[in-house]
Structure 1
Amino acid sequence: MKSLLFFLFFLSSGNCKETTPTTVYLCNSPSAKKYHYKSDCRGLSNCSYKIVKTTLEKANKDKKTLCGWEK
């Protein structure tokens, strides 16, 4: 019985890992410096340009950093 419980715990423990989204959102302004995980993040509320969807890899290449509201 102990080995069965251990086995079930071992199987389920791998599913608790938090993953980072690969899609992010940013304001298409030339001066924008942040990316956002959610398109409705309050950090995007002042964006007067178009909000665009991109990859986290591209946002990092463009030297964007994570919005402080999403940390």
Structure 2
Amino acid sequence: MLYTDCSSIKATEVETDKNIVYICASKNGKRYHFTKNCRGLSNCRAKIVKTTIYKAKKQGKTLCGWED
């Protein structure tokens, strides 16, 4: 979809580098991480997925304890 008017874009829909986080795609994953190399992701046996912080929070994920 091409936006001609920036006011029609919700701030939560905009993907910028600071809004990108990583989550473990397992059914038990509860945290999001700012870096793909976070030690909190070292135990992830499923796929590590790049997403927005908005989507991660919407899924009920919270910030990794190693990163706060």
- Aligning the two structures, in what range does the TM-score lie when normalised by the shorter sequence? 0.7 to 0.9
Q: Counterparts in 2 of 1:1-71, with a 5 A limit?
A: 21-71=18-68
Q: Which has the larger radius of gyration?
A: 1
Structure with the bigger percentage of helix: 1
* TM-score normalised by structure 1 residue count: 0.71
- Runs of 4+ displaced beyond 2 Å: none
Structure 1 residues not aligned, in runs of 5+: 1-20
Structure 2 residues not aligned, in runs of 5+: 1-17
RMSD: 1.3
* TM-score normalised by structure 2 residue count: 0.74
